[in-house]
Amino acid sequence: MAEYGVANPANLSALDTSLSVPAGGTWTSGNGVDLLDATANLLGELEVQISVTGGATDGYDIEVIAQYSEDNTNWPDDGDPDAIVYSKADSAGGASITRSPTVPIGTPTARYARLQYKNNNATDAVTVTSKYTIRKGKDST
Amino acid sequence: MTVIPRQAFTDAEKAILRQELRGAEYAGKTPEEIARMLTIRSLIPNPKPQPQLPKPLDKAVLFQQLQSALVNFSDQALIRLSEAVDANDHATVKLWADLALARGWVTQADYDLVVAELQKTVPDPDWESHIPGPTRMFELIGRDRGISVAEVEELMA
């Protein structure tokens, strides 16, 4: 399988694994991450890497945003971004993997974070895998 | 730092999806292939008929039909008429034709030809005979939702 983009570092943890995002531009929510390091009372800053496969016929067109919330059951409205994470159109498509750089999401505004994915291809699904790491933290008090 | 699973399918949705995945079309497919099958949109015939649009104006045809009137048009009027044709402005061209008829610069027969030309339509070239249909996921549970390989595996267990 051809791979494009950047290398796949080993120090990232799985966030969303092999998530098939529907065609047609509907936002799909990923898993959440609890950014609080309770021991140190610090909120971590998230960095993520997105890998995309699919768009079999004519490449893919995907947008990824991050959202924050203090309540992991009550997130912002679909597509309402706290940060733009990744946007890629007309990439290789097919069975190849395109892997983004590790993207810093920035200073968190709440305890929980999640990614949302939108596949703008009209017919083809794309499969995304995202990985994350926590780079540093700030005092949450 | 812990990962919190995203909102799960409801029990009712799981029951529908489990039933679906027993279908023969999913036999022998990998979970990733099944996830993709549930989230692609197949092309379906466009339920809307192809619209008809006003035919783009043809300067040569219109000027031929208005030939007898054009000799009476000032240079400025000719420029404006030409611009209206170039802009595909049917209404303005009709106004100029009405003026030419009112002043007796064109025959009723030539005027009728112009009006007929202005009323011609062509099929909308942007209309598509096939459009993306709903995803199978939408057909099953009434909403589009991404699905992971792990979720497919859970449904198949």
Domain shared by B115 and B74, yes or no? yes
φ, ψ for residue A58, nearest 5 deg? -145, 35
Residue A2 is predicted with a pLDDT of: 73
Per-position pLDDT tens, chain A of length 141: 677 777 777 789 999 999 999 999 999 999 999 999 888 888 999 999 999 887 665 667 889 999 999 999 999 999 999 989 888 776 666 667 788 888 898 889 999 999 999 999 888 899 999 999 988 765 555
Give the tens place of pLDDT for each residue, B51-62: 999 999 999 988
CB contact under 8 A, A23 and B137: no
Residue A57 is predicted with a pLDDT of: 58
Indicate the residue type of B105.
Answer: W
Residue A94 is predicted with a pLDDT of: 67
From chain A, the residues in CB contact with B145 under 8 A are 22, 26, 28
- The answer as to whether B5 is a domain residue is no
Burial of B131 (0-12, 13-18, 19+ CB in 10 A): middle
Residues of the domain holding B56? 52-123
Residue A39: in which H helix or E strand, if any? none
Q: Domain count for chain B, please give it.
A: 2
Burial of A70 (0-12, 13-18, 19+ CB in 10 A): exposed
What's the predicted TM-score (pTM) here? 0.80
- The answer as to whether B6 is a domain residue is no
SS3 of A83-124: the string is EEEEEEECCCCCCCEEECCCEECCCCCCCEEEEEEEECCCCC
Domain shared by B110 and B132, yes or no? no
Domain shared by B72 and B115, yes or no? yes
- The answer as to whether B2 is a domain residue is no
Domain shared by B56 and B92, yes or no? yes
Domain shared by B62 and B102, yes or no? yes
CA distance linking residue B63 with residue B60, whole number of Å = 5
Query: From the centroid of its chain, how far is CA B21?
Result: 34
The stretches in chain B having pLDDT less than 50 are: none
Domain shared by B96 and B141, yes or no? no
Closest by Cβ to A123, choosing from B1, B32, B40: B40
DSSP 3-state of A135: strand
CA distance linking residue A122 with residue A96, whole number of Å = 19
CB contact under 8 A, B144 and A22: yes
